[in-house]
Chains A and B, each alone.
Chain A
Amino acid sequence: MTEAFIYDAVRTPRGKGKKDGSLHQVTPIQLVANLLWALQDRNKLDTSLVDDVVLGCVTPVGEQGADIARVAAIYANWAETVAGVTQSRFCASGLESVNIAAQKVMSGMEDLVVAGGVESMSRWAMGSDGGAWAMDPRVNQFTGFAPQGIGADTIATLEGFSRQDVDAFALASQKKAFKARAEGRFAKSLIPVKDLNGMVVLDHDEYIRGDATMEGLAALKPSFEQMGQMGFDATVLRKYTTLEKITHVHHAGNSSGIVDGAALMLVGSKKIGKKLGLKPRARIVQTAVIGSEPTIMLTGIGPASKKALKRAGMEARNIDLFEINEAFAAVVMRAQRDLDIDPARVNVNGGAIALGHPLGATGCAILGTLLDELERQDKQTGLASLCVGAGMGIATIIERV
């Protein structure tokens, strides 16, 4: 079987996903085009050799609707023959793109694929695409729909994580990310966003709160308590019958941040790399997805990672570094427990609590961060994993070559 390699990884900085966020001025297609140009420049890429652009976008409406991948390839003035597809595996979409690219290459059907994702959360709000899951009352009822924060609070209740535990986790994420940014650890992949004049709009991750404190976090109100009491808690309690109530511990400070951003990777076979004169940075060893209980929906990381490890003939202890998406503090804390791994090997440069979670792009971005860090520490193996809406998990194992 053909092997799939990562040749390059780029991402935009993440801008606050509000109207005062720096990237609110920038169209989502511009975020992607900037990165396509960066890939083209950095790799002296003959774009006619690219088979496909696979992008994740979770709210594919408006400016980021209607297959933004293909339209971005045209807009970036790449070869007309470069196809494009947009997909959604909710929060895992960015990593799903990489996995699809790997599968395309490994199957021998395609040679070179650009994979990644984009999300302008400030312009196109999460959930604004509707969907039967939340919107259609009978589907909503059948699936036991509850917002993710309710699921995160349920995990904390089930696992016995206190408010202080999750806040401490969040604070650590902020400190790690702040340090990583200060030391320039993100520099290898980070491509400043420029406007059409070539003027820089944003060149750093602006969501990080280096001044965060336990006291400051403790003052924040739980975000999901009120909606929980209105009815969502009851939906959870019907499924988790040993719980008498849900303790609401998550808030804006220990949940992933709403941000704008994009990320891309160049994935291809060994042969195409040689043809292009590129050096492969890592091999994509294994990918996996799995379904998990949909009401809580955030417990798929452990099972998906185990599935990937098993198929790869590996164990968690064989993995040097992990990137586990910080959708909510309790999600990562539980995943660490599920996988029985040392937190010191997880998210060493912080995560989405500090950096933000541009839904369609994050999976690709954290895999890039993982690869950069493996190279910096000169370690070999890494695993990236995310929990996914409607109850799924995704995992990708890479190995430096």
Chain B
Amino acid sequence: MSVKFEKDHDGIVTLTLDMPGRSMNVLNDELTQPFSEAIAKIEADASVKGVIITSGKKEFLAGADIEKVYAIKDPAVAFKLAEDYKAFLRRLELCGRPVVAALNGTALGGGLELALACHYRVAINDPKAKFGLPEVKLGLLPGGGGTQRLPRLIGIQPSLPLMLEGKELNAEKAKQQGILHELAASRDEMLAKAKAWCLANPKPVQPWDDKKFKWPGGDSKSPANVQMWAIAPSMASAKSYGNYPALTNIMSCVFEGGITDFDTGCRVESRYFANLVVSQVSKNMIGTLWFQLNAINKGSSRPQSANGASIEKSTVKKLGVLGAGMMGAGIAYVSAKVGIEVVLLDTTQDAADKGKAYSAGLLDKDIKKGRLTQQGKDEFLARIKATTSYDDLKGADLIIEAVFEDRAIKADVTKKAEAQIAKTAVFASNTSTLPITGLAEASERPKNFIGLHFFSPVDKMPLVEIIVGKKTSKETLAKGFDYVQQIRKTPIVVNDSRGFYTSRCFATYPMEGLTLLAEGQHPRSIEMAGLQAGMPVGPLAVQDEVSMSLSMHIIEQTRKDYAAEGKTAPEHPGVKVIEKMVKQLDRPGKKAGKGLYDYPVGGQKHLWAGLAQQFPLAKEQLPQRELIDRLMFAQANEAAKCYAEGVVEAVGDTNIGSIFGWGFAPFQGGALQFINAYGVQNFVNRSKELAKKYGERFKPAAILVKMAKEGKTFNA
């Protein structure tokens, strides 16, 4: 049974949610059916004096059954789902007995909505337990009355960020915000407090059912809230660019609920919920950021050994990081953070110490925020040894080199490190541009050689691109995969190819921006198009961040590589702009303080005024839609080519890699899902149109033409 029913001698019933065969309780028929029967039993039994709802799992209740929600295509079905759950919660809070939520662990989404429908909430003060309404992160809204109960409980203004940002609070914060009533140190204490409250409050009434109910902080019509409503959409859109309908619908639920009575507000909420459930955006986000991400985290791209046997899970105990620059320092930090012993090596002790100081800096910030003690910092730093001696690498399970992008230097450190480590240890390169198979030539053990491409800043970016060279063994890949998970990042697996996957696709974004600039489109309109498309930074700004001198270096390297094979490198029209900016105008980018932008000291960066002269405006300024399509189609088409070429083998890796790796618009669900949502045939048609107008680079990938013909989409 999913719901255990126990009545004690005082007439207090404890309902324990404990779904068999699952590690967590989720809201579906398997739970709500017996739950509903238990409520019926309580309603019919006058000797029941109170109800305590708790969970038999580690967490209380994780929320709705996403699989079920994802499958809904008819808004009427979604509406009914929300209405049924709300009717059930309404019965609970109107059952005439005190009902207490005894929150033994995390209660998110529908789980917290259940708790909000209880008259009283006691939680165990476990710092790991989370409380919140994070539906927005999947393009949805709290459809179980959350948008109505929370604002009536804590006020409209405090409730909005919780739902619009999907903030998850720990127990103490949740109590401060008025979401929880009481905290307990243990399960027993929690249950005792819950029972005591039941006995002391035989006839509780929810605030919104009280005839004298007054909105905390006023309803939607109160002058302060009217002012807030006028600016709230602008504040939300300033970040979302209007791409997230969930934000709008959450605001509508709270706004309209702040005008109507509770029950009408609930009907309104179900309508807006249904609207989101069937929206393309929620399908994109759930498909990629829930199902595909979960699959990756469960190891969908982790290999079996060549003979089909499973490879045992590995952990890194000692890590060697070669090169204590920004990347090396970041890798040392994220590794020491999970308890790995790190040797951080550079050519001078000064450089190595500087790399270690990077961790100290981050830890000081944590201390300032009260998240860490001095002792914790000392212990953390004791795990990192800054050195110049290769001897210190002895005993390392994994070496990651993050030295300058130069084959000779990389070959040198590979040899020196391999001389110190065990034959079973893995050697990884953090290169972002040089093919792994070539770098592995410097290795004695190319089977143990792999690419681990981190993103900057390492402590913030969630992705690591694992690059498999020609000779890399399955076991090495599995070890790399395990390490990435060990440092709590998301691994995607990529085969060796120029620019790998993320760098290659990402480059099309700034390059298209530069091309538009060369064509005489207004630079600010180009930047705005990137932002409107859902990219985190405009294409010109991001090119400045990457630095055009680095891009120039890669372009020249590519030219050399092609020339060596007696070929000419195919060149993007954007290259001309980079060449001009670097060689003619000496404006290489942000690091130099001058690029496509100016970076006044102490002031805000702004587009370089000289652009107007260097790239005069064309008479015809394209509509934003055209700019947006060019920027997005360039990326998506390249991702499709990568997938077709086997650079990335999994749809999930391709989508997640695009969002986590280079910030591809999350609401689109990633670069391949973008094509699905656009319609493969439509994408092909539009690509042909763009190719005709703007150049061959937009010609749809062959795989897309074939898929369109066969009526196929990219499925994980």
Contact = CB atoms under 8 A, between A and B. Distances in A.
Contacts of A138: 233, 248-249, 251-252
Contact of A135 (B226, B241, B528, B532): B226
A137 B248 contact: yes
B248 A141 contact: yes
A140 B229 contact: yes
B255 A235 contact: no
B532 A238 contact: yes
A177 to B, nearest CB: 32
Interface in A251-267: none
A140 B226 contact: no
Interface stretch (A48-56, A96-104, A240-248): A240-248
Nearest to B526: A241
Contact of A242 (B229, B235, B524): B524
A242 to B, nearest CB: 5
Contact of B252 (A137, A146, A231): A137
A102 B249 CA distance: 44
A140 B532 contact: no
A241 B528 contact: yes
B241 A145 contact: no
Interface string A130-163: 1000111110110001110000000000000000
B231 A137 contact: no
Contacts of A401: none
B522 A140 contact: no
Interface string B201-226: 00000000000000000001100001
B275 to A, nearest CB: 11
A241 B238 contact: no
Contacts of B532: 238
B663 interface: no
Contacts of A227: 231
Interface residues of A, number: 25
A235 B238 CA distance: 7
B624 A244 contact: no
B242 interface: yes
A234 B607 contact: no
Interface string B230-274: 111111111001100000110110010000000000000000000
B427 to A, nearest CB: 47
Contacts of A140: 229-230, 232-234
Given A134-B229, A238-B528, A241-B528, A141 B237 contact: yes
A237 interface: yes
B230 A241 contact: no
B229 A234 contact: no
A136 B231 CA distance: 11
A232 interface: yes
A134 B226 CA distance: 8
A196 interface: no
B635 interface: no
Interface in B95-149: none
Q: Which of A127, A145, A241 has the most CB of B within 10 A?
A: A241
Given A241-B529, A242-B524, A137 B229 contact: yes
A146 B532 CA distance: 19
B648 to A, nearest CB: 33
A137 B244 CA distance: 14
Closest 7 CB pairs between A and B? Answer: A231-B234, A234-B238, A137-B251, A231-B235, A141-B233, A241-B525, A241-B528
Given A137-B232, A145-B234, A235-B237, 16 more contacts: A130-B226, A135-B229, A135-B230, A136-B252, A136-B255, A137-B255, A138-B251, A140-B232, A140-B233, A230-B231, A230-B235, A231-B234, A232-B231, A234-B238, A241-B624, A243-B524
12 contacts: A137-B251, A137-B252, A140-B234, A145-B233, A145-B234, A227-B231, A230-B231, A237-B528, A241-B524, A241-B529, A243-B524, A245-B606
